[in-house]
Structure 1
């Protein structure tokens, strides 16, 4: 089972969720060879709850994941912490929404939850907790204390960072950090649109049908991690497309209403 553990549903935090846009995303994800993905939308994206309410109307949900044709979509969320890093949470939908309710007072910059408080909030829930892009210059994690980093389950090898900082150098950094902590490394495209799917992925030894099985497979390292040779081209094209789509969105928002 090929799964991408860091994906987004929207073009940006500022845009509304578009069912048509996401249907294209899901189709492209399946077309790229993925069997599953974790939807780790930003916890403070515009109208966060619209994402899951819309998915409930779009796809069958079996209590563990959405069934978008052949593609499994596991619920998740990406959380900003006060120390200036991001944590991916993946698990059952009710647990993701429970944590999101607890984060309601913490959605604005300057009010983000401290790392230790987020861990305390989630430690009794069977969530997979991944340290996102730990060496990204704008939102690093490697500066946290060792005892804090030890409380995470894995660390994210991120397609954007592999492209930005050099695949060999960034992978070596992330793998060295994880190895020093005795933690696995997982692959995530961090895509906001369709072109990055398949640039990195995790291939599990056995299909996972529950979030608990997924977490156990990661903890047991029962998977291989793949970085596609096409990653630089995919990410470069993705960055260019995202800029263009955001520009078009701004122009559409600025258009005056037609006169009657």
Structure 2
């Protein structure tokens, strides 16, 4: 059986994803034009919908790479439709990442397309499948920060600029977390095919707890400072300043009230 024998519906873009993308487009326009009654609410809806779109693309990248690597079961599972409801664990892939963004402004790695690894031959293919997801976050971060590092911010409204800066923070933090070589994260999936079989068997039971371990370690002040220091350094290298990220986060969390500094910044 070849990939050409899939039903057309296996690859048709889901109306759910189209709806989320439409929300992103409409609210992005509202932020750009300052049309909304509440800029904060518009930023919240724009960033949240854009974040969900990036999560869907992250999982799609895993699935599409697996398909071309030999797992032809991907299409029947609905992973090529970009429908977040088709994921093995929609809670882990979509709901928890959104909750963590709302609570703390950090890009939680999602994860839950079930890939039949026994269909795939070659260690490089296995590694590439794991790397495809976080590389999508990297690409998303590059796109979000393009106006900054291209010095093309003339005419970009400050509210939209703040929203892009905060969205870039989410993408960079998600990419870094995902690339950590911790069982259960994509970074470990990249190196796992190259490890001795004995080590893989010993580590396998730890996979469900890898993400929990990472976030527990982030509560350690020194590690938290080091992680966000790395994120800030990457954003700075891409031309995004700390005040822009901070104002993006403040407008996103509009229920906490308006930040006077950011309000003055946006009125300049």
* TM-score, structure 2 normalization: 0.28
> Which protein has the larger Cα radius of gyration, Structure 1 or Structure 2?
2
Of Structure 1 and Structure 2, the greater strand share is in 1
Write 1 or 2 for the structure with the bigger share of helix.
2
